[in-house]
Amino acid sequence: MPDERDYPEVQPAQPMPPQHSGEIYDDLQFEVKESLGDRLMNWIAGLPWWAIILAVVAVAALYSMFTSAAYRDVLRALTDNPQVTTEDLFEVVQIVGEPTMIVGRYVGESQDSVSTVITSLLDDVIDSELVQRAGFLVREDPATITIQTESGRVTIPRQRITAMDPPDAGLGDNVSVEYIERVTVTGTLTARDDKTLTIRTVNEQIETFDTDRILSEETTTTPEGEELVRIEREGLSYRGRLTALSQTGISLVQEDETRVELRRADVAFLAIPTLTVALNAAAAERTIGPDDEVRIGFVQGTDITRALQELDSLDGIPVPLRYGAGAARAALISYADLAAMMGAVAAGELDAALYLSGAEDRLAMAEWVENNPDAAVVLPTPPRECQRNCTVTVKLRDDVVEGRVLERTADTISIQTVAPEFVVIDRDQILENRRTEPGACALNNLRGCNAGIFLTLRVTFMAYGLALIIGLFFGLMRVQKNPILYAFSTLYVEVVRGIPLLVILLYAGFVVSPWLRDNTPLKLSDEWEAVLGLSFGYGAFIAEIFRAGIQSISRGQMEAARSLGMSYPQAMRYVVLPQAVRVVLPPLGNDFIAMLKDSALISVLALPDLLQLGRLYISRTFRAFEGYNTVALLYLLMTLFLSLLVRVIERRTRLPG
């Protein structure tokens, strides 16, 4: 009896009835001293099998995930790229009525320049609704003007006026005034309190780059005393295998397997191997026979294998040398430089010369031919750039960054090129909350986590809750004597149980939801389609569980309750169902686990659930092994945790006696 050994002082005062396992060890209780290692081993041996599996899996998973960059990548992708904390609580669009409530901007305009603020904000992200009024100017004071219009008097704060015609109107004049009535503030809610909302209307932009790219740097000080830098920096260089080349873009794979897509417009310099073929004029005319030797020259250092491959790939270009039947022998001869080689071609020492060049000298051979019009050398084709698979070097144009220096380390510098802008609005000035959507996914903003494991969990919980309601409802109908209720519920159960869940989900998404959209004002989101489909499909199974649970409670219970004067619903509610729930908890738990797994089917409704994100990740990176491992592991961890929970609940609800 380990309990008594650990806590000798809580032994009951009255003598315990003899217990078979306890008796033998009672005398030994102070002699048995286990070492810590023994205790640990005993404890582990005493664990049920599922706890051991859970622990091993969890340890392995966490170990591999924290040590492997690939797993960390998948994990991040599957959990909606969470941050630890975020300021981006919501994405909002707020309509506010009084522009004066815009009390300030991050950049710090003062109170009396609010109209300037508004006018300038108009140009960025804050949209305003302008209203035009025409009438007689009847009153003027420093803060407002009052106009007598056809429909009555309007008093307009001067701050809100954006245009007035004529601008210097006096009392009694006929004027036309344009002013701001409503302002739309669009941005990210970053802080809120009882009275105000702080909305970031312009996102900060930061550029971080290596200091050795700096070409020149000058610092200016703004009138507010802020230091701004202007840095001219060298364009980035990339070197890698060319994968695509078009009029507008270049894509290449660098040595570390990262793919780079560049716009041609940004490119300052592009080094693509170019192949030029020159022929001796006489050789071009000659037909080469089987026993002839073709002498081909190249410049020392040229990757000749590559050059010959390129030559092979010159489709649609006339064969530089005319062959007769059979293969000729080729002699490859190297030359120290281009001029020597071209001289040899002109002199007839070479039949042909190949020139594979980089960027600067790509036209060198063509130029040589142009400069030596008398030499007996011809170019059968123009110089030809490599189209793919050769190694290219790309350098982007130099550019200029301007902004505030945030951080300068030995190698890198961070510059805030765009400062964030904030607008603080009073809650009571808000006329309409046009949109509020959860912001970024982070631990302090979990409602912003929408994809991957979060979606899977949320859909499963919502669908299961709904399925419980549906199941209880139909389960109760299944035990009724009323033939209509019984027949209806039986029909539901039998029909739904006989259709694959996938088909039910497709019905929900592509039949029911479009029908509702066309015929009712209901517009179901993808997520609700999934929830409805899952819960409708599982409701049938849960109804059967409830029916069996209710029927497992002996009829005597219902009769005893009825004989005490309870109505049928009361007897159900207070006597039968509480007992039935105990009976059905384990199968209900199993169904919950099954539903969690079946929720993987909702990806057919284009929902980014755990499986779908995994598949996206895999199609992006081709890392199927890591991807599916992580997906499977996350499902497994969730289901193991749930079955543990089911067991605990089962144990807790066991009746005494």
Chain positions contacting other proteins, by CB under 8 A = 554, 556-557, 559-567, 570, 574-575, 578-579, 582, 655-657
Conformation bin of residue 202: beta by default, left when phi > 0, alpha when psi is -120 to 50 = beta
Residue 385's DSSP bridge partners are 274
Q: Please state, in angstroms and as integers, the Cα–Cα distance from residue 514 to each residue in 506, 511, 523, 603, following that order.
A: 11, 6, 8, 18
- Report, in Å, the least distance between residue 20 CB and other proteins: 21
User: Which of 24, 655 has the CB closer to other proteins?
Assistant: 655
**CA atoms of 582 and 586, how far apart (whole Å):** 8
Residue 186's DSSP bridge partners are 93
- Report, in Å, the least distance between residue 467 CB and other proteins: 24
User: Which of 78, 583 has the CB closer to other proteins?
Assistant: 583
- Report, in Å, the least distance between residue 553 CB and other proteins: 9
User: Which of 414, 579 has the CB closer to other proteins?
Assistant: 579
User: Which of 152, 565 has the CB closer to other proteins?
Assistant: 565
- Report, in Å, the least distance between residue 572 CB and other proteins: 12
**CA atoms of 278 and 164, how far apart (whole Å):** 76
User: Which of 149, 563 has the CB closer to other proteins?
Assistant: 563
- Report, in Å, the least distance between residue 652 CB and other proteins: 13
Distance of CA 131 to the CA centre of its chain: 41
> What does the angle CA 500 – CA 504 – CA 506 come to, to the nearest 5 degrees?
115
CB under 8 Å to 305, separation ≥6 — which residues?
none
User: Which of 381, 567 has the CB closer to other proteins?
Assistant: 567
Nearest Cα to Cα of residue 333 among 298, 294, 377? 298
- For 204, list phi and psi in degrees, rounded to 5: -65, 145
- Report, in Å, the least distance between residue 554 CB and other proteins: 8
Tokens of 301: 């250092």
- Report, in Å, the least distance between residue 573 CB and other proteins: 9
Length of the chain: 657
- Report, in Å, the least distance between residue 557 CB and other proteins: 6
Coil, strand or helix at 523: coil
User: Which of 101, 575 has the CB closer to other proteins?
Assistant: 575
**CA atoms of 564 and 571, how far apart (whole Å):** 9
Span between the terminal Cα atoms of the chain, in Å? 21
DSSP structure string for 267-324:
EEEEE--EEEEEEEHHHHHSEE-TT-EEEEEEETT--HHHHHHHHHT-TTSPPSSEE-
User: Which of 247, 482 has the CB closer to other proteins?
Assistant: 482
- For 49, list phi and psi in degrees, rounded to 5: -60, -35
- For 449, list phi and psi in degrees, rounded to 5: -85, 110
Sign of CA dihedral 524, 530, 533, 534: negative
- Report, in Å, the least distance between residue 565 CB and other proteins: 3
Coil, strand or helix at 209: strand
User: Which of 66, 574 has the CB closer to other proteins?
Assistant: 574
User: Which of 81, 579 has the CB closer to other proteins?
Assistant: 579
- Report, in Å, the least distance between residue 582 CB and other proteins: 6
